[in-house]
Amino acid sequence: MVNRGIRGATTVTKNEETEILSETVVLLREIVERNDVIAEDICSVWITMTADLDATFPARAIREIEGWEMVPLMCSVEIPVKGSLPQCIRLMVQVNTDKSQRDIRHVYLNEAQRLRPDLSQGK
């Protein structure tokens, strides 16, 4: 097994706790489903949000998923680059896997599909 990074990003429409938590779970579940991984195989999850999102910590949503209580999580603010995509949540899921780099399925949802259109064309 090797350690691979699985990228994902999504956006919200409002800086509200409920939407941030909900979209974080949707994104994580999609990453897990597309890559057929389980929490036990996850080394850690790095979570960033753009500075315009400060209503809650998105890690709270992941910690509440059954089986994910012990997965190491870290939240941070995304680098504030002028003109970058607003209201964006990004995940870097580090997983132990036998999959090759090419077999990893990155996930971009909502407006975040604009970040990597080459990776957003299907499941």
Determine which one of 17, 30, 75, 105 is catalytic: 75
Residue 29 among the catalytic residues? no
Spell out a b/e string for 36-67, using b for 16 or more CB atoms within 10 Å of the CB, else e.
ebebebbeebbbbbbeebeebbbbebbeeeee
Active site residue 88: no
Query: Among this protein's residues, is 7 annotated catalytic?
Result: yes
Catalytic residue flag (residue 63):
yes
Q: Is 24 exposed, middle or buried (0-12, 13-18, 19+ CB in 10 A)?
A: buried
Please confirm, yes or no, whether 114 is among the known catalytic residues. Answer: no
Catalytic annotation present for 108: yes
Whether 14 and 42 have beta carbons less than 8 Å apart is answered as: no
- From the candidates 16, 33, 40, 63, which is the catalytic residue? 63
Which residue of the set 4, 7, 19, 23 is catalytic? 7
Q: Is 116 considered catalytic here?
A: yes
User: Which of the residues 4, 23, 78, 88 is marked catalytic?
Assistant: 78
Task: Enumerate the active-site residues.
Answer: 7, 63, 75, 78, 90, 108, 116
